[in-house]
A and B are shown apart, each in its own frame.
Chain A
Amino acid sequence: MEVLFAITIGVLVAASVYLMLSNHLLRFIFGLVLISNAANLTIFVAGRLTDGAPPLIPEGADAPLGDVANALPQALVLTAIVIGFGLFAFAIVLVFRAWTTLNSLTPDDMRLAEPKEAQK
């Protein structure tokens, strides 16, 4: 199971690095979404994977019986997903604004804040 997740994370990261390096802002954002999900999966796997063992405490007991799923990484991932959602919503709107005000989504063309030195 861990191997499967490791391969998935690897593929996600590879795809996102490819997208982020492709010199286009929209692809960059897609790459970011992918790599943030890869990070979330990393946290998820880091908490160790269990099969069909929800972290429930049976009635009358003080602690769960036997090995159960680790609930903490799930809480962490949930937090990260929520935060990530907010950030990406902002980032996509920002890219849209960049498209309407700067008429370009190629980072190389976006030189308004740092104009090229005049040709000597």
Chain B
Amino acid sequence: MSWVLALPLVIPFLTAVLAFLTRQSPLGRWISVVGSAVLLAASIVLMNVVLRDGVIAGQMGGWSAPFGITLVADLLSAVMVVITAIVALAVSIYAIADVDEGMERLGYHALFNMLIAGVVGAFITGDLFNLYVWFEVMLIASFGLLVLGGRPEQIDGGVKYVALNLVSTIMFLTGIGLLYGMTGTLNMADLASAVDNADQRILTLVAVLFMIAFGVKAAVFPLFFWLPASYHTPAFAVSAVFAGLLTKVGVYALLRIFTLIFDHDTAFTHTILLWVAGLTMVVGVLGAAAQSDMRKILSFHIVSQIGYMIMGLALLTPLAIVGAVFYLVHHIVVKANLFLIAGVAQRIAGGTKLSRIGGLYKSAPLLAVLFVVPAFSLAGFPPLSGFWAKFLLVKAALDMQGWIIAGIALVVGLLTIYSMTKIWAQAFWEPHPDGIEPKLSNLSSRNRAAMLVPISGLAALTVIIGVLPEPFVRFAEASAAQLLDPTPYIEAVLGVQP
């Protein structure tokens, strides 16, 4: 069974090696596309196996848990791997048009696939130290991607990104050390019961260390400042994959750790998370309202949206977790797509600064339609995917009489519309200040296809999730049930305990 689990890891690594070897030729970009497509196939196989057999686990090297390194996939891990593969495929197609040969020669495709390997690894590992290693794989690849090209803005953003992420890594490592000292194990399934015998007060302290470490990765208030400082500087393909996947790995880690291991003192830890969620939503959306650059607005919206997912985790009712899982999946698709669209706007209108561009609605109506879908989905318009995600979370909050957090969620949704209409009015409706017509036909036909195919695909996915939410909600319900009752997870890893 373990090959099903190992394949989504092996494929991007192999692709990265092949892409590195062919970095001098245009072959590299095709290797990247094919590798992502194969990864998508492998992840769908994994998803099918998980749907059929429940949680599956594989012990690497034949060392049985909790001594060896375990790979484990439950529904949440499986869906995250699938969505990672979808984004990887979309971005690697987009990169054909967006990434120039200079960056390819520097090894863009190898770094990109290494990043995907790190993300997938983080989703399917069942061992805390292994999770740290995957975080590092992801981090070092993202460092490379962020500064590739070496423009001064990239170096400036990169310094802040690197510095804060390294601090968070060290927090994570310290937390691992303390947890190991208290329990003598690092296997996540084993930890779920091992923490019961530990000193509960020190355990809470360790929980907060993990919360800060993953909080930096997930870009929650007040730890998010690296994100808007850096996400608007690299190539658009890079910032799309960062926006889609990287912070969500932090959210996934929080979801996993704070349902499986640190559920001993929810009155303390999850209350902090609820405050963090509310403040993240508000600060993110206000930050976005103050910006006037398309990518900066979208960067702040990542922060604001992370708040919704953390809110689901903090409420910790079945419905809230359903909402958080649904939100996680919907958000990755939508956010990556918006950054890709910003890339097209930059290409044909000559920038992402809202005051410098315009006229996209008249000259490029197709792009306008493709923008409206993810933008309104982000804001939570029915019948798009974001509406259901927000609906589930707000309903969960109201069920618990959480009037304030529900109110915040709704108001932030309104303010999101404000930001999206700002982009719409200035970039799409108003005429271009220089009087040029930003037509899609200005792009070469190859670039046009490479940019619009992934954008249309992701937009179609948003509409499908929105119009037919039932199977997705059902899936989120099943995966939330697994998160809240981790017995199948623990049994899959450790075997059935007498």
| Chain A residues packing against B (C-beta within 8 Å) | 20, 25, 28, 32, 35-36, 38-40, 42-48, 72-73, 76, 79-80, 83, 86-87, 90-91, 94-95, 97-98, 101-102, 107, 110-114
| Chain B residues packing against A (C-beta within 8 Å) | 129, 132-133, 136, 139-140, 143-144, 147, 150, 152-160, 162-163, 166-167, 169-170, 173-174, 176-178, 180-182, 228-230, 232-233
CB distance from A89 to the nearest CB of B (A): 10
Given A87-B139, A112-B153: A95 and B170 interface contact (C-beta under 8 Å): no
Q: Is the CB of A42 within 8 A of B174?
A: yes
Q: Is the CB of B155 within 8 A of A87?
A: no
Q: Is the interface of A mostly helix, strand, loop or mixed?
A: helix
Known: A87-B139, A111-B156, A114-B229. 7 other contacts (CB 8 A): A25-B159, A32-B163, A46-B177, A87-B166, A91-B163, A94-B162, A97-B147
Q: Is the CB of B156 within 8 A of A102?
A: yes
Q: Can you report 30 A-B residue pairs in the complex whose CB atoms are below 8 A from each other?
A: A25-B163, A28-B163, A32-B166, A32-B170, A35-B170, A39-B173, A39-B174, A40-B173, A42-B174, A43-B176, A43-B180, A46-B180, A46-B182, A73-B177, A76-B177, A79-B129, A80-B132, A83-B133, A90-B143, A91-B166, A94-B143, A94-B147, A94-B155, A95-B159, A97-B147, A97-B155, A113-B154, A113-B157, A113-B229, A113-B233
CB distance from B242 to the nearest CB of A (A): 14
* Of A95, A112, A113, most B-chain CB atoms within 10 Å: A113
CA distance A88 to B218 in the complex (A): 22
Q: Is the CB of B159 within 8 A of A87?
A: no
Q: Is the CB of A87 within 8 A of B136?
A: yes
A73: nearest chain-B partner, CB-CB: B180
Q: Is the interface of B mostly helix, strand, loop or mixed?
A: helix
* Of B136, B139, B154, most A-chain CB atoms within 10 Å: B136
> What residues on A are CB-neighbors of B176 within 8 Å?
43, 76
Given A90-B143, A113-B156: A42 and B162 interface contact (C-beta under 8 Å): no
> What residues on A are CB-neighbors of B153 within 8 Å?
112-113
Number of A-B contacts (CB under 8 A): 104
Q: Is the CB of B162 within 8 A of A91?
A: yes
CB distance from B432 to the nearest CB of A (A): 22
Q: Is the CB of B152 within 8 A of A102?
A: yes
> What residues on B are CB-neighbors of A97 within 8 Å?
147, 150, 155
CB distance from B350 to the nearest CB of A (A): 19
Could you say which of A25, A43, A87 contacts B177, with CB atoms under 8 Å apart? A43
Could you say which of B140, B180, B228 contacts A114, with CB atoms under 8 Å apart? B228
A101: nearest chain-B partner, CB-CB: B152
Q: Is the CB of A42 within 8 A of B147?
A: no
B296: nearest chain-A partner, CB-CB: A114
> What residues on A are CB-neighbors of B132 within 8 Å?
80
CA distance A111 to B140 in the complex (A): 24
Q: Is the CB of B159 within 8 A of A110?
A: yes
Q: Is the CB of B230 within 8 A of A113?
A: yes
> What residues on B are CB-neighbors of A91 within 8 Å?
162-163, 166
A112: nearest chain-B partner, CB-CB: B156
Q: Is the CB of A98 within 8 A of B155?
A: yes
A86: nearest chain-B partner, CB-CB: B140
Q: Is the CB of B155 within 8 A of A101?
A: yes
CA distance A42 to B162 in the complex (A): 23
Q: Is the CB of B181 within 8 A of A32?
A: no
A37: nearest chain-B partner, CB-CB: B170
A42: nearest chain-B partner, CB-CB: B177
